[in-house]
Structure 1
Amino acid sequence: MLFDSHLHIVDRKRLAYPWLTDAGALNRDSLYEDYAREAKRLGIADTLHMEVDVAETDIERETDYVKSLSREPGSLLRGVIAACRPESTDFPAYLERVLADPFVKGFRRVLHVVQDDVSEGALFRENLKRLAGTRLTFDLCVLPHQISKAVALVDLNPDVSFILDHCGVPAVKDGLSESWSSGITEIARRPNVVVKISGVVAYADPDNWTPETLRPFVEHCIASFGWDRVIWGSDWPVCTLGGNISTWVAATHALMQGVSADERNRLYHLNAKRLWSL
């Protein structure tokens, strides 16, 4: 069974998504029921919703919306990774509200859509330290040239659990690069970082990739982090840029041929359940 740590739900009737205007094929509704129908057929038994960079005024409404979906019979939803703004003076009060809600499992602030100096700001870093000793994780979504910025955040917060999204967002269609490879090796030296095996199909040539295209990227991440610090995610609907969720699940199984059942289970669901105490 698979634990999907990275589902995006887009419902434009409920919430505002300013970035969708320039998102091409992703500028559409991507509803939970469409995901769940296929996910259940693929052996996905549990999922976490990943924030979708909604309008700032809708951040807490997004959590409430996903929570309402989780109450439906047979729902796969087990929690959310909520959006946040650590660069804001409002963050401490928001954190207190989140800590009172066990449905929220962690935070994400997408860093490749803002200036690099956002994550270097004193207030951002001070607020991130507030996660130490809490149950909340923090997802790092950065481009390869920004991995050094992510490393700096991790080094300042050794008691915070971080998750590097999408194998560090490699440009798969361009092939392996030294900057990505060395960045993965470096950030993996930090024991409080987990890598998410997700997203890579969206960065490949949509008309010309196979599991072997993805293999060097996936295997380098696993070799760098080890089997205890890898988790799996679909990145639906973004994964549909490279096929569909079924394509990515099939590619994952092909990439895991030859590994032990124990290693496969750690990637597929055991590590995620341990990370979020589920």
Structure 2
Amino acid sequence: MESIFDTHLHLVDRSRISYPWIRDAGTLDRDWSHAEYAAEASACGITRALHMEVDAAEDMIGAEVDFIESLPPRKDVPIVGIISACRPEHDGFAAEIERAQARPSVVGFRRVLHVVPDALSQTARFRQNIRRLGPAGLPFDICMLARQLPLAMELVDAAPETRFVLDHCGVPDIAGGQFDSWARDISALAKRPNLSAKVSGIPSYAAKDWTAEDMRRWIEHVVAAFGFDRVVWGSDWFVCTQGGGLTKWVETCRTVLAGVSPAERVALFSGNAEKIWRVGGG
């Protein structure tokens, strides 16, 4: 069983960081610790993780990085890098990049784009700042809804030297069976060589009693479109606890990918992530 590099781990400590959205998130509104995650993740074969920003209050973006850096190191599932929140819509983005480059733990950026007006990613300032990430060597995670995938294409095209990763398979409406338009846009996105896709998060968009077979065509389409050299894996823990949990998601991905070659599984589960975020092997 190949080891897994989790590229999408969220941790929460409400005593240190303010997360405005979490107060309305039902059972997700609690602290989520590295120890709790690692206990289950290590049993699933996960051996490393990247911490993904949790949409903290804007004035606490740096504090969130401080929080993750301050965690006691773990040998079972160490956090080997941080994807920090950012604000490319601001004039001061060049300084954000400089601060990130001064912190070896920060390996990438994300700005959640489904909670802001669609026009934000279309502004000249936003796109100019995203173009700065290419020379800086900082990949940008795109978190958009399925209906916004044409906007994702425009953003990727506007910054051809920047490396992008599409989160959560482009957030398909699995429960609603909205496959065709999503699949068309995924195939179009995959034509952009500077974009990779993250097989993550989709249990949250499926019916509560979903099975591995329910997930198969969605996962297989993303992999077929992007190829095994441009896909990575993510748990979306703790959010995945609302969609069946971490263990079920890992087992589902292993089941769906059972027929591919060992080299292809290694590429998806760890190898590609090491290249994108320039994190050494585990």
Q: Per the shorter chain, which TM-score range? A: over 0.9
Q: Deviations over 1:217-241 (max 9, x none)?
A: 1000000000000000000011111
Residues in 2 aligned to 1:33 and 1:156: alpha-carbon distance in whole angstroms: 40
Q: Deviations over 1:208-266 (max 9, x none)?
A: 21001001110000000000000000000111111111111111111111111111111
Residues in 2 aligned to 1:177 and 1:235: alpha-carbon distance in whole angstroms: 21
What TM-score, normalized to structure 2? 0.95
- Provide the residue aligned with 1:212 in structure 2: 213
Q: Deviations over 1:169-207 (max 9, x none)?
A: 00111114322111100110000100000001111111x
- Provide the residue aligned with 2:177 in structure 1: 175
Q: Is the 8 A contact 1:70 1:77 kept in 2?
A: no
Task: Confirm or deny that 1:30 pairs with 2:51.
Answer: no
Residues in 2 aligned to 1:76 and 1:247: alpha-carbon distance in whole angstroms: 21
- Provide the residue aligned with 1:246 in structure 2: 247
Question: Which of residues 55, 60, 63 in structure 2 aligns to 1:61?
Answer: 63
Residues in 2 aligned to 1:255 and 1:71: alpha-carbon distance in whole angstroms: 33
- Provide the residue aligned with 1:276 in structure 2: 277
- Provide the residue aligned with 2:47 in structure 1: 45
Q: Which amino acid aligns with 1:219?
A: E
Residues in 2 aligned to 1:243 and 1:177: alpha-carbon distance in whole angstroms: 21
Task: Confirm or deny that 1:199 pairs with 2:181.
Answer: no
In structure 1, the gaps of 5 or more residues are none
Q: Which amino acid aligns with 1:254?
A: T
- RMSD in angstroms over aligned alpha carbons? 1.2
Q: Percent identity?
A: 48
Task: Give the CA deviation at 1:93.
Answer: 1.1
Q: Is the 8 A contact 1:48 1:77 kept in 2?
A: yes
- Provide the residue aligned with 1:2 in structure 2: 4
Task: Give the CA deviation at 1:104.
Answer: 0.5
Q: Which amino acid aligns with 2:174?
A: V
Q: Is the 8 A contact 1:69 1:77 kept in 2?
A: no
> Does the C-alpha gap of structure 1 residues 177 and 75 become closer, same or farther in structure 2, counting only changes over 3 Å?
closer
Task: Give the CA deviation at 1:275.
Answer: 1.3
- Map residues 147-162 of structure 1 onto 2, 5 A cutoff: 147-162=149-164
- Provide the residue aligned with 2:260 in structure 1: 259
- Provide the residue aligned with 1:102 in structure 2: 104
Q: Which amino acid aligns with 1:137?
A: P
Q: Deviations over 1:34-91 (max 9, x none)?
A: 0011111111111000000000111011011111226455551001100000001221
Residues in 1 aligned to 2:177 and 2:258: alpha-carbon distance in whole angstroms: 22
Residues in 2 aligned to 1:44 and 1:68: alpha-carbon distance in whole angstroms: 21
